[in-house]
Amino acid sequence: MAYLRQYWWKFLSVLILFYVFVAGLINSVPRLPILNETIRNSFYHPPLWIAMMTLLLLSAVFSIRFLSKGKMLDDLWAIEFANTAILFGVLGCITGSVWAYFAWGDFWPNDPKTNGVAVGMLLYVAYFILRASFEDELRRARVSAIYNIFAFAMFIPLIMILPRLTDSLHPGNGGNPGFNQYDQDKSITMIIRPAFIGFTMLGLWITQLRFRTRRIEIVLDDQQVNEKISQTCISNE
C-alpha cells in the first residue's frame, strides 16, 4: 500500500494515456471539412505541446531557484526538464507535420507558428551546446541558468503571441477561428482533456527518472575521481 501511495500518479498517467491512445483511435469523431479523420491528431499533437511548455516553464523556474539559492540540484532539475521538453517538442513536430501534410498538403508549411517553433527549438539546442562548452560546473550552471530563463522568455512569444499578429494557418491565429469551436463536441473533450494531464504527468515521470539517473552518474564519477586521487597519493608515497 505504501508503494501505491507513493507512485499513484505514475499508475494514473499510464491509465490515462492508455485510454487516450485507444479511445483516440476507435472513438467516433465529428466529420469536419478539411480535417476529417485527421482531427484525431488533436488528441496527441496539442497535448504534447502543452506538456512541453509546462516542462519548459518548470525548467525556467528551477533555473531561477538556482540563481537565488545556488543549489546545484536545481540546475540538474532545470537541464533534465529541458531535455524532456525538447523530446516532447520533437514528437510534437512529428505529429504536427503529419497533420499538416493531410490538412494543408505540406509537411512543413511556411507558417509563422511552425517557423516560430523551429526558432524556439534552436534556442534550446543552443542551450545544450552552451552547457557543453563549460568545464567548470558552477560557471556552467550560472551562465546556462541565465540563458535558460532568456530562452523561455523568447519561446513563448514565438509560438503564442507572434502567430496571432499575422496570417497563420493554425486555429486561433491570424484571424482564424480558435480550435475551441471544434472541441465543444464531447467526443473531443472527453479525450483531449485527459490527454493534457496524461502527457504532462508522463513528462514529469521521465524527468524524474532522468534526474535520478544523472545524479547516480555524478556520484559514481566523483567516486572514481576520489579513487584516482587516492591511488596517485599512495603511489607518490
Mean pLDDT of 1-28: 82
pLDDT at 78: 96
Q: How confident is the model at residue 7 (pLDDT cuts 50, 70, 90)?
A: confident
User: 61-84: per-residue pLDDT in tens?
Assistant: 999 999 999 899 999 999 999 999
In this prediction, residue 50 has a pLDDT band, given cuts at 50, 70 and 90, of very high
For residue 229, what pLDDT is reported? 41
pTM: 0.84
Residue 127 and residue 110 in contact, taking contact as beta carbons nearer than 8 Å: no
Cell of 83: 531535455
pLDDT at residue 225, as a whole number: 41
From 145-149, 192-196, 219-223, the region with the lowest mean pLDDT: 219-223
pLDDT attached to residue 122? 92
Single-letter amino acid, residue 33: P
CB within 8 A of 124, min separation 6: which ones?
Answer: 56, 82, 85, 86, 89, 151, 155
Which has more pLDDT, 52 or 1? Answer: 52
Indicate whether 183 pLDDT > 70: no
| Over residues 188-195, mean pLDDT | 88
Domain boundaries, the chain: 2-25+38-236
Res 232 pLDDT > 50:
no
pLDDT at 213 over 60: yes
The rounded distance, in Å, linking the Cα atoms of 127 and 151 is 8
Residues 6+ apart with CB under 8 A from 154: 120, 123
Note the pLDDT of residue 234.
45
pLDDT score for 237? 52
Q: What is the pLDDT of residues 113-163, one digit of tens each?
A: 888 888 999 999 999 999 999 888 899 999 999 999 999 999 988 888 877
